[in-house]
Chain A
Amino acid sequence: MTLEPNGDIQYEVRESIAILTLSPPPGNYLKVPAFVAVSQFREWMSDERLKGLIIRGAGRNFSAGGDLPHLFAAMEEDDSAIETLMAEGGELLSILESLEIPVIAAINRVCFGGALELALACHIRVASENALLAFPEVNGNLMPGMGGTFRLPAVTGLFHSAGMILGGDTMNAAAAKEVGLIDHIAPRDEAFDYAWNLMVKMTGDRPVKVIRNIMSALRNSLCLAPDEALKQESRLFCELAWIESVRRKQEDGDAVGS
């Protein structure tokens, strides 16, 4: 029994925007919680020219979530394996959430369990009008285990989270938009195109440094003590101000020169 990350995940970069495609279709199951090895993901994200990341599924669906038979089979050999695996999955999502670039989940059709936890770690969720979102773990006497139990209430409030996590309720795109679980509804099966256009609108005209400093300030506001976050924000702002100040002087110089 091997417990390797999905070997067939596709990663590409178009116009400084990274695209991670979950596979293999149709289920795009996450074979292990850290569906991409943490080291591999860090390596991809170390490219400082990146302006954004979009996560989508190959084919019709986003992903049906964790591959449970695979996990249980692994536990038969070594029942402590699951703890390490879940911790790695949790770490991957934490890294994703605190990236210095905006991350959009582009969700067509099925987005269940671990895949919904992945989507919740993204900054923005775009779902097609025929998308379905759920935490079905409870039906198998389990629960979300990679941050879903706290990331979901953070966006929907406790009431709707209880229905989804305890009740295993499935939400369609319209209901998910209503409760704040998704941020945009795209036409049928067109979540990726919609997410792409949104990403270009947000980042296309912006220098990489502006995007990264803004996203860093956001991360700091969530994880640092307030005064420390403000201190870092002052530093991040000044970096941009100095660059912009030099750029303007050069521009003025060029204008005088010509």
Chain B
Amino acid sequence: MQWAVEERIGWFMIGEPPANAMTMEFFSAFGQWIDRVSADPSLKAVIIVGNGRHFSSGADLQELLENSSENLLLENSLNFARLGRLKIPVIAAIRGVCLGSAFELALWCHFRICAEDAVLGLPEASYNLMPGLGGIGHMTALAGKARGVELILRGATFLPAEAFEMDLVDAVVPKKDLCRLASDFAKALPENMIPGYRKLYIKKYLSKQNVVE
């Protein structure tokens, strides 16, 4: 992972391209990073983005199956939850593949801006597994119980337009504008967000220029 701060906006870049798979090493680095970020009063917002063409393909399945322990997994889960509980805005800027644990990470963010080329979903059930990092709760809360249950049991993947329609992403933008729009949005947002105003912030501060949906 890489971490850079520009004009008080922190950019968290996932992993090793092209797939940016979330390895054990990633999760441990994420834990150390969230410790630092939680204690950094100078930050105004955080943007999570994948290195290169993709957001991330999610957890490394083989590694996960070999090393699954309840404590380790819970630690990863609680670290994701700490991201969701940051007082400053956290924005996922999603392009390319964003599946499984990676989509779960995006769902912990306060806002999701998505490039037109993205592919999203929680396909774990297709591998006889389940989402394990809070994704089930988030997806059913946002898309509704019926649609959430259907998509998760089927292990379905979906496109940005469908995700937008289901409230799973907040805006769909052209790929070339993704990082710029995420950055503009981060700068415009108030530092002390009121969670209940989420929709209002999107309407007010997410530049309508170039937003496809």
Taking Cβ atoms with an 8 Å cutoff, the residues of A that contact B are 102, 123-125, 155, 180, 183, 198, 201-203, 206-207, 210-211, 213-215, 217-218, 220-222, 226-227, 229-231, 233-238, 240-245, 247-248
Question: Would B129 and A244 count as touching, CB distance under 8 A?
Answer: yes
Report chain A residues within 8 Å CB of B144: 155, 180, 183
Report chain B residues within 8 Å CB of A206: 125, 128, 153
Which of the candidate stretches B33-41, B64-72, B90-98, B109-117 sits at the interface with the other chain? B64-72
Q: Contact string, B164-208, partner A, CB cutoff 8 A, digits 1/0?
A: 000000000000000000000000000000000000000000000
Q: Nearest Cβ distance between residue B84 and chain A, in whole angstroms? A: 9
B45 interface residue per 8 A CB criterion:
no
Tell whether A203 pairs with B153 under 8 Å between CB atoms, given A210-B128, A233-B77: yes
Other-chain contact of A213, B68, B127, B130, B133 (Cβ < 8 Å): B130
Report chain A residues within 8 Å CB of B73: 234, 237-238
Q: Nearest Cβ distance between residue A23 and chain B, in whole angstroms? A: 26
Question: Would B137 and A221 count as touching, CB distance under 8 A?
Answer: yes
Interface of chain B: mostly helix, strand, loop or mixed: helix
Tell whether A102 pairs with B154 under 8 Å between CB atoms, given A233-B132, A241-B64: no
Question: Would A210 and B125 count as touching, CB distance under 8 A?
Answer: yes
Question: Would A227 and B128 count as touching, CB distance under 8 A?
Answer: no
Question: Would A237 and B136 count as touching, CB distance under 8 A?
Answer: no
Q: Nearest Cβ distance between residue A1 and chain B, in whole angstroms? A: 38
Q: Contact string, B74-110, partner A, CB cutoff 8 A, digits 1/0?
A: 1001100100000000000000000000000000000
Tell whether A218 pairs with B134 under 8 Å between CB atoms, given A203-B153, A210-B129, A241-B64: no
| Chain B: CB-nearest residue to A215 | B149
Report chain B residues within 8 Å CB of A242: 68
B4 interface residue per 8 A CB criterion:
no
In the bound assembly, the distance between CA atoms of A2 and B92 in angstroms comes to 60
Other-chain contact of A227, B70, B78, B125, B149 (Cβ < 8 Å): B78
Taking Cβ atoms with an 8 Å cutoff, the residues of B that contact A are 64-66, 68-71, 73-74, 77-78, 81, 125, 127-134, 136-137, 140-141, 144-150, 152-154
Report chain A residues within 8 Å CB of B132: 233-234, 236-237
Question: Would A218 and B148 count as touching, CB distance under 8 A?
Answer: yes
Q: Nearest Cβ distance between residue B148 and chain A, in whole angstroms? A: 7
Report chain B residues within 8 Å CB of A229: 137
Question: Would A202 and B137 count as touching, CB distance under 8 A?
Answer: no
Question: Would A210 and B130 count as touching, CB distance under 8 A?
Answer: yes
Report chain B residues within 8 Å CB of A227: 78, 81
In the bound assembly, the distance between CA atoms of A35 and B66 in angstroms comes to 48
In the bound assembly, the distance between CA atoms of A233 and B78 in angstroms comes to 11
| Chain A: CB-nearest residue to B155 | A206
Given A102-B153, A202-B150, A214-B152, output 9 extra A-B contacts at Cβ < 8 Å.
Answer: A206-B125, A206-B128, A210-B125, A217-B137, A221-B136, A226-B81, A233-B77, A245-B68, A248-B65
Question: Would B65 and A238 count as touching, CB distance under 8 A?
Answer: no
Q: Nearest Cβ distance between residue B58 and chain A, in whole angstroms? A: 13
- Which 7 pairs show the lowest CB-CB distances between chains A and B? A221-B137, A237-B132, A241-B68, A183-B146, A234-B74, A234-B73, A202-B153
Q: Nearest Cβ distance between residue A47 and chain B, in whole angstroms? A: 19
Other-chain contact of B70, A125, A220, A235, A245 (Cβ < 8 Å): A235
